[in-house]
Amino acid sequence: MTRLFFSVLLFSLLFHSSPLEAQKYPQKASPFDEIRWKGDQPEVRIDDTWYSPLSVDGVEVGKIIETCEKRWRGQVEKRFTEDLMEALSLMNHRCGDKITLRLKNLENGKVGVLKDVPNTSDKRRKLRNDRNQGSGSPSPLRKAPAELTRDQVLSEIEFFKAALRDQFAYLHLKGIDLDPTIDAEIRSRFSTGLPEKLPTFELATILHKVLMCFGDGHAGARSDLYQPDRVAPYTPFLLGESEAGVVAFLPNRRGFLDPKYPIILEIDGTPIDAVVKKLAPLIADGSPQLKKNRALRSMRSIALWRVVEENPQSQRGFDIEAMKRPFAVKLSSLDGKNTKDLSVTPTQQRPTYGEWPANNSRILSENVGYLRIPQMNGAAVSEIRRWMDRFKKTRGLIVDVRGNGGGSREALITLAGYLVTDDSEPWVGNFAAYRTSKKFSESHLARRFMLPVDSPRWTQDQRKVIKRSMKNFNPEWELPKGFSSWHALVLGKTGHEDEYTYKSPVVLLSDAGCFSATDIFLGALEILPQVTLIGSASSGGSARSQGFSLPVSLIEVRCASMASFRPNGKLYDGNGIEVDEQILPAAEFYTRDGEDRVLKNAIQHFKESKR
């Protein structure tokens, strides 16, 4: 591919902290509740007041905007909104979970300072969703109504259906008829039909559950009034899957819920597998590993597994105070011979998983390179460039992307350039097509580094491999009418000045926490003969996710706009990337200094292979 098309902008991060330390300095966070633009200047809302921001943690906003323009030319509004922390790190400044802001009040013109403003991922996520909303996007000053009339509900549902039929790539994937599915969900909740008035969260619940039927792991319906996994109280522990069963461990990773009984068998008298099944209606009907992984993570919310979905009527007016009562868990020893019943007191603080494993990139004692990529972002590109230069003489390379929920494809393109020789042919890592909505331009997949297969921008070598790959490409799902032509992601040398050919074997470490861009990363690199995948299958997702907002309820809907395939014809969604050697972690993996048997097995892989 041309150097211009493949070029990945290199920037230097002046801080290289561990994942645990990085939680103190969040990269995906924002202190702002809303952002709007007046010309080329941002205006921000903090609580109920609008301001013109002058500085963020002492860094002038004008200089931040200059940095965004240099790093992401033509994308200042998007990057200031979504990547503010990353922009500040480029300026040799890291922000914590609380920030000092210097602001000019737009109502009275006074300049003042706000200290200890929460800097959270939730705010950043909402800002990102607001930017990606389509027609029907709410005014910044509007608030979602607490309830809707029957006519409003019916109107919102019609808007929802029309938008999905126009934009949703996987609407016909499973042969699901949208209208009867919505009607069935309404009947399951209201035996006598829609009431005259309906709480907004009820409509969001209905639409979310309908979306989950289609298997799109990126899809969902949410609003300020419907975030069921973020309603206190929470469990004071987290759950993870291991070779011995589901592990209950402390959020600070200092140990298990009970030191001698790490495996959880039941929660509130219900077996864990039954709780997973109970939560299924709220989780995308994707791969088995996606469903279980998301269910285990969702169990943090006590309200979900105590009242959700067996009896929808019980959700109306459930007693939040009752949720705060202690609950019972049944635990087991590692060998399964002994059990223990424990009473657990809920907490108001939502426990978080963070980035795990909390390892740094380094050269292991066995002269094996270890490259840790916890997120697919600009920092990952910098990490690859910095460490690949040090890995030149290692006997092998382990690339650990466990728990990486995705991001951009730049890390894939960067690493791929090191894994082939100068005279190697490029290769196709992904075929996709998008819905031909008026909302989407012809360059809809450009941010996924994809072009139409007949694009004149391909080189002769690229056209040759695309043509050969297309002959062997037999997609497992025949796309219906209403899709674009096929697009391709082609990988190979990028021409970057730091790039060289890494000739030793490569192992990729994967698990069910891998999703979206990380699925593409695994699926594209596993094609190379020197690459082995170890661990467990990724969750499966590649969607070019986009969103729209319902006009009255302000419910935010996200769904896939593209159907994405591996070159072997398998969909990414619903499958994930299988591994060559399946190994589940030991229970101790989820605690600090615990055994990482997946990593140990990867190291052993190089010991047993010929040098």
Query: Given strand 556-560, what is the order of strands in its sheet?
Result: 220-222, 556-560, 545-549
pLDDT digits 0-9 by tens, 383-397: 999 999 999 999 999
pLDDT value, residue 26: 63
Distance between CA atoms of residues 55 and 61, nearest Å: 5
Q: What is the mean pLDDT of the chain?
A: 89
pLDDT value, residue 73: 64
**Is the predicted pLDDT of residue 135 greater than 80, yes or no?**
no
pLDDT digits 0-9 by tens, 504-513: 999 999 999 9
Fill in the DSSP letter of residue 579: -
**Is the predicted pLDDT of residue 10 greater than 50, yes or no?**
no
Phi, psi of 290 (to 5 degrees): -65, -45
pLDDT digits 0-9 by tens, 180-218: 999 999 998 888 889 999 999 999 999 999 999 999 999
pLDDT value, residue 313: 43
**Is the predicted pLDDT of residue 6 greater than 50, yes or no?**
no
Q: Work out the pLDDT band at 25, boundaries 50, 70, 90.
A: low
Give the mean model confidence (pLDDT) for residues 281-310: 89
pLDDT value, residue 74: 63
Beta carbons of 31 and 123 less than 8 angstroms apart: yes
pLDDT value, residue 131: 66
pLDDT value, residue 150: 95
Distance between CA atoms of residues 429 and 406, nearest Å: 16
Higher-confidence residue of 37 and 3: namely 37
Q: Which of 7-11, 180-184, 491-495 has the lowest mean pLDDT?
A: 7-11
**Is the predicted pLDDT of residue 315 greater than 70, yes or no?**
no
Distance between CA atoms of residues 583 and 345, nearest Å: 34
Higher-confidence residue of 55 and 607: namely 55
| Bridge partner residues of 98 (DSSP) | 118
229-344 has CATH 3.40.50.1220 classification = no
pLDDT value, residue 308: 58
Give the mean model confidence (pLDDT) for residues 7-12: 26
Query: Given strand 562-565, what is the order of strands in its sheet?
Result: 451-452, 487-491, 427-434, 562-565
pTM listed for this prediction: 0.78
**Is the predicted pLDDT of residue 317 greater than 80, yes or no?**
no
Q: In the structure encoding, which two tokens stand for residue 147, read together? A: 């309830």
Give the mean model confidence (pLDDT) for residues 302-306: 86
**Is the predicted pLDDT of residue 540 greater than 50, yes or no?**
yes
pLDDT digits 0-9 by tens, 433-474: 999 999 999 999 998 999 999 999 999 999 999 999 999 999
**Is the predicted pLDDT of residue 76 greater than 90, yes or no?**
no
pLDDT digits 0-9 by tens, 40-50: 789 999 987 88
Q: Work out the pLDDT band at 37, boundaries 50, 70, 90.
A: confident
**Is the predicted pLDDT of residue 7 greater than 60, yes or no?**
no
- List, by residue range, all CATH 2.30.42.10 domains of the chain: 229-344
- List, by residue range, all CATH 3.90.226.10 domains of the chain: 362-608
Distance between CA atoms of residues 95 and 370, nearest Å: 28
Phi, psi of 102 (to 5 degrees): -105, 125
Q: Is 592 left (phi over 0), alpha (psi -120 to 50) or beta?
A: beta
**CATH class, range 362-608:** alpha beta
Q: Work out the pLDDT band at 108, boundaries 50, 70, 90.
A: confident
Give the H/E segment covering residue 329: strand 327-332
pLDDT digits 0-9 by tens, 228-261: 888 889 999 999 999 999 999 999 999 999 999 9
In degrees, rounded to 5, the angle at the alpha carbon of residue 409 between the alpha carbons of residues 229 and 603 is 85
pLDDT value, residue 529: 96
pLDDT value, residue 319: 66
pLDDT value, residue 530: 96
